[in-house]
Amino acid sequence: MGRFTTGAGAWRPLSGPSHQLALEILLDGPLSRAELTRRVDLSAGSLTRLTKPMLESGLLVEVPGGPTDPRVGRPSQPLDIVPTSHHFVGVKVTGDAALGVLTTLRAEVIATEERKLPDHSPDTVADAIVELVHSLSDGRPQVTGLGISVGGHVSSSGEVLHGDFLAWEDVPFQRIVGERVDAQVVVANDVTAVTEAIHWFGAGRGLSRFCLLTIGAGVGYGLVVHDKLVDTIESGLGLVGHIRLDPDGPPCHRGHRGCADVMFTTHAITSQISEAHGRQVGYDECLDLAKNGDPEARRVVGAAGYALGRLIAAASNFTMPEAVMLGGEGVQLATVAQDELQAGLRSDRHPSAVPPPILLQDPSFTQWARGAAVIAIQTFVLGK
Ligand SMILES: [Zn+2]
């Protein structure tokens, strides 16, 4: 696979205080010049000087509709971002496939595509991602940034220290892909990426504190406090997966009884119900069986919901979020086992504590890839 070129000048970073301006307009635009000078603490002259190249490059546009400016006697023209001025590709890598999306600067998904992975060697996975970028951007404007997310432990320099579903140890994947494409490449943990997508462009907008629990092949946790992602070297270790929630639950491979990993991952639920029924039962069918009163499915799904409620209580007690987001492909558990979830939540909360709003997120797999794109968008706007 040859080096993929996204076009001359594709990667042109913002400079200096332009980052803060672009960020304010991206998240809250259109904004008037008066509002911007207040928010970024600039003189009107400095604002004009900084926004001029951003207007000329097509990143910003003046839109009609502002109030009349008393100094000039005509309507002011608020500034907005042109979402299609920059495009980003986000790719989520699983054990089986690389799923990609092409997005605008405001993380609107324009196209999706998938590539099966014939094996897990870093070169094979990198080539599949380059193919995805090539195909997604075919005939479209240049790609500014490429974000890649994986389940597992990723360093701040994009080295995959441990990849959960790829059996990778210490793979400098950001560098490996960066050598193949001209766009800026960033690699991040998948839950971190989705948390940032919710934070900047989703249900977390305007909240100072929220947490995200993802339910699926594993259990993930992301946290935003004071409007900032809490990101440590331990993000991606799957720390909440082994919190013990049910003393009567099955044991996990690390010897915990009833930890999150064996209570409500998709595998935990399907394996218990499949065993009881003597055949392979898929996740959706497990939830349907529970809904329709199948006793064994009801017991397993109910215990899973109760355990999830206890985990939400623990997250709420420790981090006092304004809302708890539930995401991941297994999120329908929260609907089918709603009563058990609420009972588990109540059991570990103070009776006077207000229950946190629980906001269910889109469980489609596209959201993971969109999260990866948001990491690339953040890198561009913040100049990280
Ligand atoms: Zn465990």
Tens digits of per-residue pLDDT, 151-206? 999 999 999 999 888 999 999 999 999 999 989 999 999 999 999 999 999 999 99
CA–centroid distance, residue 213 to ligand 1 (Å) = 17
CA–centroid distance, residue 262 to ligand 1 (Å) = 7
What span, in angstroms and rounded, lies between the C-alpha atoms of 236 and 168? Answer: 14
CA–centroid distance, residue 56 to ligand 1 (Å) = 55
CA–centroid distance, residue 92 to ligand 1 (Å) = 25
pLDDT at 12 over 70: no
What span, in angstroms and rounded, lies between the C-alpha atoms of 139 and 6? Answer: 11
Confidence grade of residue 7 (pLDDT, cut at 50, 70, 90):
very low
Q: pLDDT tens digits for 291-334?
A: 999 999 999 999 999 999 999 999 999 999 999 999 999 999 99
pLDDT at 235: 78
The average pLDDT across 94-118 equals 96
CA–centroid distance, residue 326 to ligand 1 (Å) = 20
What span, in angstroms and rounded, lies between the C-alpha atoms of 88 and 103? Answer: 5
What span, in angstroms and rounded, lies between the C-alpha atoms of 110 and 95? Answer: 25
CA–centroid distance, residue 251 to ligand 1 (Å) = 7
CA–centroid distance, residue 270 to ligand 1 (Å) = 17
What span, in angstroms and rounded, lies between the C-alpha atoms of 183 and 11? Answer: 6
What span, in angstroms and rounded, lies between the C-alpha atoms of 378 and 200? Answer: 9
> Which residue matches tokens 């360093």?
155
371 — phi, psi (to 5°)?
-60, -40
CA–centroid distance, residue 245 to ligand 1 (Å) = 10
CA–centroid distance, residue 266 to ligand 1 (Å) = 15
Q: Angle 261-262-263 (CA atoms, 0-180°, nearest 5)? A: 95
CA–centroid distance, residue 256 to ligand 1 (Å) = 5
Q: 174 with 117: CB under 8 angstroms?
A: no
Q: Characterize 311-322 residue by residue with b for buried, 16 or more Cβ atoms within 10 angstroms of its Cβ, and e for exposed.
A: bbbbbbeebebe
Confidence grade of residue 141 (pLDDT, cut at 50, 70, 90):
confident
What span, in angstroms and rounded, lies between the C-alpha atoms of 265 and 246? Answer: 14
